[in-house]
Structure 1
Amino acid sequence: MPHSRRRLRRVLAALAAATTCLVLTNAPPANAADPAPSPAPTTWSVQPSTERGPDDRPFFRFALAPGARQVDWVAVTNAGDTPLTVDLYTQDAFTTAAGGFDLLAAGRPPADVGSWIRLKQTRVTVPARSRSDVPFELAVPDNASPGDHSGGVVASIAGPGRDAAGNQVLVDRRVGTRVYLRVDGPLRPALGAGALNADVHTALDPFDGALTVTYTVRNTGNVRLGARPELTVRGPRGLTTKRQRLDPMPELLPGASQTRTARLDGVTQAFRLDVDLTVHPIPVPGGPAETGSTAHARTTVWAVPWVVVGTSALLLAVIASLLVRRRRQANETTTHENDRNEQRAGAPGSGS
């Protein structure tokens, strides 16, 4: 097989040379249509706590059985010089298009773990440079599905801002802390890969083509998982192979998907190319050690080395022209010899 690859590279190179001589902020990502809040420093924070004050937990993490209840506390800290009143609520989480962790907007009623939490207070006034520890109860429904459920506790303040047109609007500024709940039962870590498309970018150098590949990875299981995608591009009979690891996806919530685009340079334009996507599941903090099997997707594209094709066509045309010219010359020579023979046969004194 290595000899075949070397032969292919030598042939393509020769033909090419011939042609050459010829803060968890839970607000959605901003966009042009979103209101732009007036500049204002964030002077409050939200974090896991106890009845005596914040502890060292970076976020809430629970492992409970269906029907179980858990009491906990959340701290709202005011770092400003004046009293602060915030609205406190809970919400379900989702994976953003960019792969981040975010919470649904305040106006959407939660349907998962965000609806299973009952806060003792939903509006809190915190004195300047002080803190308020608010208790809450998490009650897991009897019919809760096993696996991971994600959400958050949010403290928000509505304030004046301006939209893209300069109009005065009311903007909801919010900060929060994550809530990860694992409900007891069978765990099914699983990823799916699909929607694989590849666009070819040809180049004069047949070894320097490129592919723009778009792909989707989905968490089809019931636990949080990370993903490490890898692309492999193979030529006919495996004569050429290009492998590239892609940027990892740190966390996909159950049911979430992420679509990404990657570019592979240095791809040999070997006519038919098989593009394989392999997605390796990777564990996340607090996730199970068992991550399930790898996921695969495949597509085929045509990467025609036009330099090679053009060179080959030109060489064939030159060879054909030489053959035609040689045959014509041979025919002319034969004709001249026949004419001379006829002239000799018809000359006086010839014959017996």
Structure 2
Amino acid sequence: MRTPAALLAGLLVAAVAATGPATATVPAGSPRHTPVAAQSLTWGVAPSSPDGPNGRPAFEYKLDPGATLTDYVAITNHSDQPITLDVYASDAFTTEQGGFDLLPATGEPVDVGSWVTFESRTFTVPSTSRLDVPFTIAVPDNATPGDHPGGIVASLAATGTDAQGNQVAVDHRVGSRIYLRVTGELQPGLDMVDLSTTYDGTWNPIGGGTVTTSFTVRNTGNVRLTGRPQLTVTGPFGLAGRSVAADPLPEILPGDSFRTTIRVDGVPPMFRLGARLTLAPTAVTDEVLDPAPATVTREVGLWAVPWSQLVILLVVALAGWLAAARRRRARRRRAAQLERAVAAAREQGRAEAARDRAVTDANHEKTTQGT
């Protein structure tokens, strides 16, 4: 749940590259700190030095296992009254929407968030003032190589109401990201799993349908990565190929995943289609990864039955059959009529022949009598 007050706090620190607000609802009267009204309180968090912010967009480090260093975070109170904040570090994860977020306040960090320590958990910042707070990062001796993302948070519990009108405490958090890379062998890699591919046709006989592929991209390596999936759809023997490149993936942290969808329109129904999904992982920054991550390819087959064309073909075939049937019936009627006409002519001919014989016989008899 993200509240308008938390979003306002995030806007105040956008210029100093804070991670943006994250909120968590906790029971009113939590022992962590007493809820207060936060509408008039605004604050920011940014990487700093003993002398103040130094323009860094995030806390970025490359350290060996067992290394220790001290750094500073600037906590600025933009309000006209003092503010007491909870300041701590936590681990990051990739949200279902592809965003960068930190564990909730009640979550216990087990990675970089647990490597950061402050002299105190709570700091009071005077009105319109800034504190440059030191902290220590101690990388464990057994820390695994690769990226360990997290963040430093300054939070304030404020009172609010839920959908039922009950009073609750909302944890407003503002923070700045930590990108810590532990030296050692990098193993960048993405995988694509849980593919679901469908074909949605159209009743337009001259139109094409849509191939939709949904899949989950999983970061199987130890480096945060992105990439741009591409879907290619072809008919039998590679006919009528169409290809679409999706929007670039968000930053996917090691061990996390992100589900997305690609659609290819105008695909003609050719009974059997082949869908080829490819993804070349790339670094989030401009760095050149060594070794380079392998391109991932997945292929699936799917049916694309041309129902509208089949219906038209069936109608045409039925019309042709009916026309042929009518022609056959007409031919049979004409044949029957001709047969009746021939029979009538024969009967008439026999009748006329009989009359002619009768006349001939009568004439012959008269001639015989006359002689």
Superposition deviation, residue 227 in structure 1: 1.6
Cα offset, 1:56, TM superposition = 1.5
What letter is aligned with 2:74?
A
Deviation string 1:169-189 (CA, Å, 9 cap, x unpaired) is 111111011111111111111
Residue deviations 1:260-285 (CA, integer Å, cap 9, x gap): 23443322222222222212212212
Change (3 A) 1:38 1:163: farther
What does residue 317 of structure 1 align with? 318
CA distance in 1, matches of 2:333, 2:350: 23
Matches within 5 A, 1:260-279: 260-279=260-279
1:240 deviates by 1.2
Given the superposition, is the C-alpha separation of residues 84 and 275 from structure 1 closer, same or farther in structure 2, using an over 3 Å criterion?
Answer: same
Code of the aligned partner of 2:80: D
Bigger mean CA deviation after superposition, 329-338 or 249-258:
329-338
For structure 1, which segment, 103-112 or 263-272, has the greater mean C-alpha deviation from structure 2 after superposition?
Answer: 263-272
**1:27 and 2:26 correspond:** no
CA change 1:79–1:160 in 2 (3 A) is same
Q: Which has the higher contact order (CA 8 A, sep 6+)?
A: 1
Shift of 1:60: 0.5
The answer to whether residue 94 in structure 2 is matched with residue 95 in structure 1 is yes
2:66 aligned with 1:67: yes
Instruction: Name the structure 2 match of 1:44.
Output: 43
Which is greater in Rg?
2
Aligned residues between the structures: 322
> How far apart are the structure 1 equivalents of 2:23 and 2:268?
41
Change in 2 beyond 3 A, CA 1:293/1:159: same
TM value normalised by structure 1:
0.83
Indicate the residue corresponding to 1:116 in structure 2: 115
Which residue of structure 1 lines up, in the alignment, with residue 219 of structure 2? 219
Change (3 A) 1:298 1:110: same
Using the alignment, how far apart are the partners of 1:217 and 1:185 within structure 2?
Answer: 25
State the Cα deviation string for residues 127-156 of structure 1 (Å, max 9, x = none). 111111111111111111111111011000
Paired AA for residue 193 in structure 1: M
For residue 275 of structure 2, what is the amino acid of its counterpart?
V
In 1, distance between residues paired with 2:261 and 2:23?
21
C-alpha distance 286-50 of structure 1, shift in aligned 2 (>3 A): farther
Matched, 1:293 2:294: yes
Conserved in 2, the CA contact under 8 Å of 1:189 and 1:221?
yes
- Aligned partners of 1:150, 1:78: CA distance in 2, in Å? 26
Flag the 1:39–1:275 CA change in 2: closer, same or farther, 3 A: farther
Choose 114-123 or 205-214, whichever is displaced more: 205-214
Q: Distance in 1 between matches of 2:60 and 2:309?
A: 60
Cα 1:314–1:286 change in 2 (3 A) is closer
1:253 match: secondary structure: coil
* Partner SS, residue 144 of structure 1: coil
- Cα distance, 1:27 vs. partner? 1.3
Shift of 1:288: 4.2
Distance 1:39 1:115, change over 3 A: closer
The Cα of 1:297 is off from its aligned counterpart by 2.4
Aligned to 1:194, the other structure's residue is in SS state strand
Checking the alignment, whether the CA contact within 8 Å between 2:24 and 2:105 is kept in structure 1 is: no
Q: Give 1:296 deviation, angstroms.
A: 2.1
Alignment of 1:171-320 (within 5 A): 171-206=170-205, 207-285=207-285, 287-290=287-290, 291-320=292-321
- Note if contact 1:150-1:178 (Cα within 8 Å) is conserved in structure 2: yes
Structure 1 unmatched ranges of 5 or more: 1-22, 31-36
Deviation at 1:39, TM superposition (A): 7.0
Amino acid at match of 1:256: D
Unaligned runs of 5+ in 2: 1-9, 11-18, 26-35, 355-371
Of the structure 1 ranges 186-195 and 299-308, higher mean CA displacement relative to structure 2 is found in 299-308
CA contact (8 A) 2:23 2:170 kept: no
Cα distance in 2 for residues equivalent to 1:136 and 1:183: 18
Amino acid aligned to 1:289: L
Asked whether the 8 Å contact 2:231–2:262 carries over to 1, the reply is: no
Query: Would the aligned equivalents of 1:26 and 1:103 in 2 still touch at CA under 8 Å?
Result: no
Whole-angstrom distance in 2 between the partners of 1:91 and 1:303: 49
Give me the TM-score of the superposition, normalised by structure 2.
Answer: 0.79
When residues 344 and 333 of structure 1 are mapped into structure 2, their CA distance, relative to the original with a 3 A threshold, is same
Please give the secondary structure, in 1, of the residue aligned with 2:227: strand
**Percent of matched pairs sharing the same residue:** 45
* Cα distance, 1:116 vs structure 2: 0.9
Once residues 250 and 29 of structure 1 are traced to their aligned partners in structure 2, the CA distance between those partners, rounded to angstroms, is: 23
> Which moved further from structure 2: 197-206 or 60-69?
197-206
Partner SS for 1:228: coil
Point out the structure with the larger strand share.
1
